[in-house]
Amino acid sequence: MATKGEMFAGLTVALVTPFKNQQIDFDALKKLVDWHVSEGTDCLAPCGTTGESPTLDHDEHEKVVAAVCEHARGRIKVMAGTGSNSTREAIRLTKAAKKAGADGALMVGPYYNKPTQDGYFKHFAAVADACDLPIVLYNIPGRTGSNMLPETIAKLAKLPPVVAVKEATGSMDQASSIAALCDITLLSGDDSLTLPLMSIGGRGVVSVVGNIVPRDMKAMLTAWEAGKLADAIKWHYKLFSLCRDMLGIATNPIPIKTAMKMLGRDTGELRLPMCPMEAALDAKLKQTLTAYGLL
């Protein structure tokens, strides 16, 4: 039986939100969409963690999703970030994404208020009930402050709109438990763990590194799908230090935006409380990009 949510298999890029003088640069955003279409990216996820959604106001959030959907239409899929720690707000954002033409919603678990497992279930069930849009659960305890357990995810997977999970716990045991309990599509939420996750039934990644090397991420996924294990492992090790640094040397999206600035692809502007890295880390990032062959 095919897994539920197969439409989100492959490479989804967690898109950055470009800023110019602290305002959203919509022209730059559209250029990013065009670039990903030409690079062969399968899907774009605007307004996730990488898109600095916590510092976009509600109006901006909806405008970014709408701009990406409109510009992407018919060319590349869109999985819009619509999560919130308020269920009413999550419903509103998901309805707005549906109206804008998104193919699905990427919904982070409620952060800061740390719901119980029953609270998690009721939160997502309420959104699923209110909005007819495929939902990709996003479990990232390091950001939200609590973990959505595999049993809760399996229970949610029985709801028709819930089709996939972005697994960002860093725990292969948790990912294996989810895969064993239900037929939901498993997507990696950590670039460096994508290949290990594929080996236990994962179907793709929601990628940060894909903002700069989508073709290479895609090449690794394609090699795995084709049964070319040695090639997939080669890609894994080529990508590894880049993946590690993008999520390791400073909080995401600081390193990826800095890297895009170094590559002439973004202003590198962030919104407070995100701020630029110190010079020593800049130098380390430059070294990684150079070693990879990007600089």
Residue pLDDT, tens place only, 27-48: 999 999 999 999 999 999 999 9
In this prediction, residue 3 carries a pLDDT of 64
In this model, does residue 274 exceed pLDDT 60?
yes
Cβ-based neighbours of 63, under 8 Å, separated by 6 or more: 24, 26
Catalytic residues: 138, 166
In this model, does residue 268 exceed pLDDT 90?
yes
C-beta separation of 168 from 140 below 8 A: yes
Q: What is the pLDDT of residues 68-126, one digit of tens each?
A: 999 999 999 999 999 999 999 999 999 999 999 999 999 999 999 999 999 999 999 99
Query: Domains in the chain and their CATH numbers?
Result: 8-228 (3.20.20.70)
Read off the tokens for 20. Answer: 């110019």
pLDDT over 70, % of the chain: 99
Find where tokens 């305890």 sit: 141
In this model, does residue 174 exceed pLDDT 80?
yes
In this prediction, residue 4 carries a pLDDT of 78
Q: Which of 170, 97, 192 is nearest to 136 (CA)?
A: 97
Average pLDDT, whole number, for the chain?
A: 97
In this prediction, residue 1 carries a pLDDT of 42
In this model, does residue 231 exceed pLDDT 60?
yes
In this prediction, residue 264 carries a pLDDT of 97
Q: Cα separations (Å) of 169 from 139, 147, 174?
A: 7, 8, 8
Return phi, psi of residue 80, to 5°.
-80, 135
pLDDT over 90, % of the chain: 98
Cβ-based neighbours of 142, under 8 Å, separated by 6 or more: 168, 170
CA separation for the pair 90, 77 (Å, rounded):
21
